[in-house]
Amino acid sequence: MVDAGCEYVRITAPSVKEAQNLAEIKKQLRAKGYNVPLVADIHFTPNAAEVAARLVEKVRINPGNYADKKRFDELVYTEAEYQNELERIFKKFTPLVNICKEYGTAMRIGTNHGSLSDRIMSQYGDTPRGMVESAMEFIRMCESLNYYNLVISMKSSNPQVMVQAYRMLVETMVAENMNYPLHLGVTEAGDGEDGRIKSAVGIGTLLEDGLGDTVRVSLTEEPEHEAPVAIALVERYVERSLTPALSKGEGAAAPTEDAEPVVQLKSLSFGEGFRVRLDEYKKRQTYEANAFIGGSMVPRVVLDLSAKNLKDPMIMADAGYLYSPLLDKYNMADQSVDFVYLADNLPSFTFPGNLKQLYNYKTWHGLAQKKNCHPVFSLEEYHVSTQKDTALNLVCIKNSDLETEAFKALTFDETLVFVLETDQHHGMADQRECFFYLQKNGIEVPVIVKRSYLFEGARSEEQGAENFIADQNPVVMSSISALRSTDPITNLQLYAATDFGALLVDGFGDGIWIDAPEIEPKIITSTAFGILQATRS
């Protein structure tokens, strides 16, 4: 695991015996030259935690089961009874805190959504607030004993719950003048594509918010497979801080003071008297365009096939439509996209009847047969166009367009759908600000979120690490890219899951459009649906 890139290693110690064995494990690791900090993960057994705290650098305790037993009982406490329970826990917890103070041992207070105590459940239910209060009780106890060497985590197998809990935790800590480091992770994320996408939706969303100090990607694979994924997620933010220096030709030795910072939570309000709650889910209200997109509809998926051979109907398998030459018909796969973008290229075969085709406006305007075909406009084209579709008109906008006269002159009829793009380095924050504007101003136009990802000099594994450029911002990260052990497909899964997932978990977005010319369309289709599944959209 250390060779794979882990900077510290967690070892589960469920009993006193396993905790005592940590001494031998540490001894042998040090003898082999591995000096990474060790973290003992303790559940149910305070005695084991007290042993481990004398041996390793950090102890992780779960407030849901450190001193409480899980009986799945529905309990009702008076205020006095609840306070008595806290005092009982305090007495049981104090010896561990004193040992940590004596030995200089750090502690992670790690709440799990799936193991909240009956006491917390009775007071707060199975909610992010319950997760936060479970941890805050123990943090307050630590502070009352003058112990501050803490790291906090709020893990869940549901990325949306996990994101809400961390945001609520930060808000609560700020209100109580606390500022403890955060350890990020999604539990039971899975394996393969699903595990990577699910992890990125949760972890990446919080990193986009400027939250997170340590990261663990939890895959149901060999442990050494986890670190490269976590490194790829984290490096994206290292690269952002390096980019301004690179653009000036100053190399990539260290972050620079003039680097653009990650947008933090305090920036997530928009104007006087308006604030979007990012610790609870509420889908943005939009009208339903052509009974197909927006409103209560699930987010739609757009796939770019404009570079494919549009003479062969077999290519439609990439979009989830399986062509049978014998029957001359299409069968829908489990993952079938809703739109295909063809730009200015015309197919020489018949498309599936329920699949909508998107063309650049000038090409669409010249079509003799426009059934299931819809135009994509620039903002300027939309204003000067002599013909518009009676069903759907897609207009490409950026956040920077919102205060222009061209945008303000728009008529928001129910054929209009925005395609929201970004050319900003902090693209998700830029697009989220656009959603804030639309919501504040009561603009209920459905929005398809589009992100573009490019690969420069992608090479085979034998040739070495590739350079990855995201968000239409081409910068060659020579010294950083050499650290990468993930391939372009994995990077796309992680970056797209972060960029789209961070919006979808907050109810923003009626469709997703992943533009990645170097990636096979079938991979893009799978990634898009994986993101929708991970965000439960």
The pLDDT assigned to 44 comes to: 84
The pLDDT assigned to 316 comes to: 97
The answer to whether residue 264 scores a pLDDT higher than 50 is: no
The answer to whether residue 22 scores a pLDDT higher than 90 is: yes
Task: Give the CA-trace dihedral at 408, 409, 413, 417, to 10 degrees.
Answer: -60
For residues 498 and 491, give the distance between their C-alpha atoms in angstroms, rounded to a whole number: 11
Nearest to 435 by CA among 471, 459, 408, 399: 399
Nearest to 400 by CA among 437, 442, 361: 437
Residues contacting 180, CB < 8 A, separation 6+: 139, 148, 150, 151, 152, 173
Residues contacting 526, CB < 8 A, separation 6+: 193, 335
Q: Convert the pLDDT of each residue in 346-362 to its tens digit.
A: 999 999 999 999 999 99
Query: What token pair was written down for 196?
Result: 């990577």
What mean pLDDT value characterizes the chain? 87
For residues 356 and 345, give the distance between their C-alpha atoms in angstroms, rounded to a whole number: 15
For residues 36 and 7, give the distance between their C-alpha atoms in angstroms, rounded to a whole number: 6
Reduced to 3 states, what is the DSSP secondary structure of residue 314? Answer: helix
Q: Convert the pLDDT of each residue in 40-62 to its tens digit.
A: 999 889 999 999 999 999 999 99
Average pLDDT over residues 432-441: 95
pLDDT tier at 11, thresholds 50, 70, 90: very high
The answer to whether residue 242 scores a pLDDT higher than 90 is: no
Average pLDDT over residues 355-372: 97
Strands 288-289 and 293-294 turn out to be: antiparallel
- The alpha carbon dihedral of 236, 237, 240, 242 has a sign of negative
The CA-atom distances, in angstroms, between 50 and each of 13, 20, 27, 46, 69 are: 11, 10, 19, 6, 19
pLDDT tier at 25, thresholds 50, 70, 90: very high
The answer to whether residue 274 scores a pLDDT higher than 90 is: no
Phi, psi at 322, each rounded to 5°:
-95, 115
Which residue ranges form the domains of the chain, and what is each CATH number?
A: 9-232 (3.20.20.20), 275-534 (3.20.20)
Question: Is pLDDT larger for residue 67 or for residue 137?
Answer: 137
What are the DSSP calls for 471-482, one per residue? TT-----HHHHT
105-114, 119-128, 169-178, 445-454: least confidently modelled range: 119-128
Give the residue ranges of DSSP H helices in 268-404: 361-365, 379-384
The pLDDT assigned to 474 comes to: 31
For residues 529 and 537, give the distance between their C-alpha atoms in angstroms, rounded to a whole number: 10
The answer to whether residue 256 scores a pLDDT higher than 60 is: no
For residues 134 and 64, give the distance between their C-alpha atoms in angstroms, rounded to a whole number: 7
pLDDT tier at 183, thresholds 50, 70, 90: very high
The pLDDT assigned to 73 comes to: 65
Instruction: List the end-to-end C-alpha distance of the chain, in Å, as a whole number.
Output: 34
Q: Convert the pLDDT of each residue in 143-152 to its tens digit.
A: 999 999 999 9
For residues 32 and 11, give the distance between their C-alpha atoms in angstroms, rounded to a whole number: 18
Residues contacting 335, CB < 8 A, separation 6+: 320, 525, 526, 529
The pLDDT assigned to 241 comes to: 61
For residues 202 and 159, give the distance between their C-alpha atoms in angstroms, rounded to a whole number: 5
pLDDT tier at 194, thresholds 50, 70, 90: very high
Q: Convert the pLDDT of each residue in 314-331 to its tens digit.
A: 999 999 999 999 999 999
Do 252 and 480 meet the contact criterion of CB atoms below 8 Å apart?
yes
pLDDT tier at 275, thresholds 50, 70, 90: low
* Count, residues in the chain: 537
Nearest to 522 by CA among 197, 303, 201, 298: 303
The answer to whether residue 245 scores a pLDDT higher than 90 is: no
Do 115 and 72 meet the contact criterion of CB atoms below 8 Å apart?
no
Query: What token pair was written down for 155?
Result: 């893990």
pLDDT tier at 191, thresholds 50, 70, 90: confident
The pLDDT assigned to 463 comes to: 36
Other C-beta atoms closer than 10 Å to the C-beta of 43 total: 18
Q: Convert the pLDDT of each residue in 69-109 to its tens digit.
A: 666 566 788 889 889 999 999 999 999 999 999 999 999 99
The answer to whether residue 380 scores a pLDDT higher than 90 is: yes
Question: Is pLDDT larger for residue 502 or for residue 220?
Answer: 502
pLDDT tier at 473, thresholds 50, 70, 90: very low
Q: Convert the pLDDT of each residue in 299-314 to its tens digit.
A: 999 999 999 999 999 9
